[in-house]
């Protein structure tokens, strides 16, 4: 009898037994957290975004597209795109150089260099704009020399480019550094032993390994450049038809009670942000697929 009992296991819990207290607690925690998250996103993101779209199309599609053809609006779009075309390549080159130096070398002051690279993340954009004014303004350090040579920086496009360069400086480097560190130097050293030159190694070995991180950094740089407000507002003067970018146009139009024009421009900026998010998701998926294959 004992042997028969030993060969069987018994479930002492009855089918009608009630769940324990910890199980009951866990059952309500998840729905509560989901509800809080949805409510928070609704108040901060969804409701404001829907309101912008509703206001932009309140008068129909005709007024919406008419606002997008106004001279001041088209100029702000052209200026925003032009600044991005200057800033993104420059910070891409700088980011690649900085990432290469930091990831491939151990030297004294490396930690300080990384900290300096992160300054734009910590400094307010308004403060960044003020720093540029204190350097290149009429009463700034270089102001008298610039004025004597009839070179205008502040309240002109050069200052807007400088402000955008400062704000977006870390993005490419910060995305490429971990990718370079993870890739290592084995493939590059192998190519060098086979007689490849430095440029050949970069184009055929290094760049293919870091391409997704690089594209992600370029994407973030472009998005931040087009959407930057604080630093550009300080150094540009916000002159309509001259130094007014698309974010500045939104603010100025709203102040002038041109609400539908402001919301129309905001929808366009939101569309650019949405495209950025879609491309970001595509790049992340490609990166995960690449990592899984390797």
216, 192, 223, 218: which is closest to 205 by C-alpha?
Answer: 192
d(CA 248, CA 230): 9
Position of tokens 């009855």?
14
In the prediction, which pLDDT does 130 show? 94
Neighbours of 15 (CB within 10 A): 5
- Estimate the crossing angle of helix 259-293 against helix 246-255, to 10 degrees: 150
**Residue 217: which residues within 8 A CB-CB, separation 6 or more?**
92, 95, 171, 172, 173, 174, 175, 176
In the prediction, which pLDDT does 63 show? 82
d(CA 81, CA 73): 12
In the prediction, which pLDDT does 110 show? 87
pTM of the model: 0.80
In the prediction, which pLDDT does 61 show? 85
What does the block give as tokens for 27? 């059952």
> How do residues 231-262 score in pLDDT, each as one tens digit?
999 999 888 888 999 999 999 998 888 888 89
Q: Which CATH code is given to the segment(s) 61-293?
A: 1.10.3720.10
Query: Do the beta carbons of residue 231 and residue 154 sit within 8 Å?
Result: no
Output the tens digit of pLDDT for each of the chain's 294 residues. 454 544 444 455 555 555 555 555 567 888 889 999 999 999 998 898 898 888 888 888 888 888 888 898 999 999 999 999 999 999 999 999 999 999 888 888 888 988 899 999 999 999 999 999 999 998 889 989 998 899 999 999 999 999 999 999 999 999 999 999 888 888 888 888 888 888 888 888 888 888 888 988 998 999 899 999 999 999 998 888 889 999 999 999 988 888 888 998 899 888 887 887 788 778 777 766 655 665
Q: How far is CA 22 from CA 19, 27, 36, 45, in A?
A: 8, 9, 21, 34
Residue 107 carries which DSSP code?
-
Every domain of the chain and the residues it spans? 18-56, 61-293
121, 63, 87, 92: which is closest to 215 by C-alpha?
Answer: 92
> How do residues 84-97 score in pLDDT, each as one tens digit?
999 999 999 999 99
């Amino acid at each position: 009898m004992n042997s028969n009992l030993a060969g069987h296991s018994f479930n002492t819990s009855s089918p009608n037994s009630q769940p324990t207290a910890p199980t009951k607690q866990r059952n309500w925690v998840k729905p509560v957290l989901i509800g809080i998250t949805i409510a928070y996103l609704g108040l901060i993101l969804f409701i404001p975004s829907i309101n912008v779209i509703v206001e932009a199309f309140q008068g129909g599609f005709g007024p919406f597209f008419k606002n997008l053809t106004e001279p001041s609006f088209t100029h702000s779009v052209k200026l925003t795109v032009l600044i991005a075309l200057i800033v993104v390549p420059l910070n891409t080159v700088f980011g690649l150089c900085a990432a290469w130096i930091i990831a491939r070398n151990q030297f004294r002051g490396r930690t300080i260099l990384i900290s300096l690279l992160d300054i734009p993340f910590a400094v307010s954009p308004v403060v960044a704009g003020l720093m540029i004014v204190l350097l290149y303004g009429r009463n700034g350090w270089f102001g008298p020399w610039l004025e004597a040579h009839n070179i205008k920086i502040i309240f002109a496009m050069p200052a807007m480019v400088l402000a955008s360069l400062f704000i977006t400086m870390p993005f490419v480097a910060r995305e490429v550094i971990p990718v370079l560190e993870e890739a290592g130097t084995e493939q590059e050293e192998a190519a060098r032993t086979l007689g490849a030159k430095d440029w050949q190694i970069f184009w055929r070995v290094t760049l293919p390994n870091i391409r997704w991180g690089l594209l992600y950094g370029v994407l973030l740089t472009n998005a931040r450049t087009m959407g930057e407000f604080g630093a550009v507002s300080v150094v540009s003067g916000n002159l309509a038809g001259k130094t007014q970018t698309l974010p500045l146009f939104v603010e100025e139009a709203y102040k002038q009670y041109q609400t539908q024009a402001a919301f129309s421009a905001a929808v366009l900026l939101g569309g650019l942000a949405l495209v950025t998010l879609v491309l970001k998701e595509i790049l992340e998926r490609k990166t995960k697929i690449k990592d899984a294959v390797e």
